[in-house]
């Protein structure tokens, strides 16, 4: 299963969200956009897994 399949219809964060995320990061450390996007993607995937597990528990 590819990452895009796992994400379903999740979209990348918009400009306002990205500026908020950049505001949380220490300015002295260089920002790696790919690292941020991997973290965002992992968060979405983990959220979907948790939701799927919750639905599965409720079915039993």
Sign, Cα dihedral of 32, 35, 33, 21:
negative
Structure tokens at 34: 């790919």
**Residue 2 in this model has a pLDDT that exceeds 60:** yes
Domain range holding 37? 31-59
48 in a structural domain: yes
pTM: 0.43
**Share above pLDDT 70 across residues of the chain, in percent, rounded to a whole number:** 70
25 in a structural domain: no
How many structural domains is the chain composed of? 1
pLDDT of 15 = 81
pLDDT of 24 = 74
SS3 at position 39: helix
Structure tokens at 23: 């505001």
User: In whole angstroms, what is the distance from residue 16 CA to residue 7 CA?
Assistant: 21
């Amino acid at each position: 299963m590819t990452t895009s399949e796992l994400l379903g219809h999740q979209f990348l964060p918009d400009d306002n969200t990205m500026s908020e995320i950049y505001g949380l990061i220490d300015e002295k450390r260089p920002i790696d956009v790919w690292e941020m996007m991997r973290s965002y993607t992992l968060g979405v995937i983990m959220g979907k897994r948790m939701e799927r597990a919750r639905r599965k528990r409720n079915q039993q």
